[in-house]
Structure 1
Amino acid sequence: MNTQDIADQLKLRALVDQVSIFADKKDFEAQVQLFTEDAITEITVGGNLIMQLTGREAMSAAFEGFNKSFATSFHLNGQHVVAVKGDHANGTLYSHITLLSIEHGKKVKSTIGAVYQDGYERINARWLIASRRGTFIWQDKNLLDP
Structure 2
Amino acid sequence: IVIINSGERNKLELTCFMLDKMQVLWDKVVTMEDDFYESNMKATALSNNGDFYIVDERNNRRGKMEDHAYSILQINADGDWVSKIALPEFLTNDVRFTFDNQNNRLVAAGLYADKNRDRANGVFFLSYTPRSDAPFLKYEPFDDKFISILRRKDVEE
Fold match by TM threshold 0.5: no
**Shorter-chain TM-score: which interval?**
0.3 to 0.5
Structure-1-length-normalised TM-score: 0.37
The higher relative CO (CA closer than 8 Å, separation ≥ 6) is in 1
Larger % of helix: which? 1
Structure-2-length-normalised TM-score: 0.35
